[in-house]
Amino acid sequence: MIDVVLPCLDEAEALPWVLTRMPEGFRPLVVDNASTDGSAAVAARHGARVVPAADRGFGAACHAGLLAARTEVVCVMDADASLDPAELPRLAAALAGLTSPVGPAGPAAGGGPGLVLGRRRPTGRGAWPPHARLGNAVLARSLNRRAGTRLHDLGPMRAARRADLLALGVRDRRFGYPLEMVLRAARAGWRIGEIDVAYRPRTGASKVTGTLGGTVRAVRDMRRVLAEVAP
């Protein structure tokens, strides 16, 4: 069993699709970040475990979900129906291959902590607005330059071992959380992988990438993290 942390702020419209597509062996954990649209009730009706996270912030919701998770491996993904839970087994398989004590390059290549990110591939019109894609590309280049990684996307769908993630000590509780996780993982010598996942137009109103203001806030948070957490 793998717990799937779903940070959630007003996603009542998207949750039914997301939760009904959760594959066998993956257990949804909806972290309700003070929603006002009944998201928590919708999640509960669809069989998800609901965890409250009263302090607003994407990172705050992710951290609350990690603390509440109970499985060795955890996945994290957005709850807005832009990502398909059916992709999660591929992410978990990639993590297993990345962290296996015996890998393609021999015993010395694996066995340590690992992180797998889903590289978003837009599949529908409006799935990834140009301003959001540009901001992501700029941040990915900055990350690669500072951390020595070769990533194309700061993908919101990811998989890792729960204890390893908590041991990283990620401190950001806003939009910089995903970037700080990767930076700290790189600094700690983790193996970091990336696989393609479909990226759909989200359901409901966007709070980040679909708005210029949201993108600016996210980029500002991430630039601050880049300045504070350099490997």
Give me the mean pLDDT over the 166-185 stretch. Answer: 93
Q: What is the pLDDT of residues 57-70, one digit of tens each?
A: 999 999 999 999 99
Mode of pairing for the β-strands spanning 73-76 and 191-199: unpaired
Q: What confidence category does residue 114 fall into, taking pLDDT thresholds of 50, 70 and 90?
A: very high
* Single pTM value for the model: 0.87
Comparison of pLDDT for 125 and 93, the residue scoring more: 93
pLDDT, position 107: 36
Residue that has been written with the tokens 């062996």 in this structure: 25
What's the pLDDT score for residue 213?
59
CA distance 218 to 229: 16
Instruction: Give tens-digit pLDDT for 199-208.
Output: 998 886 655 5
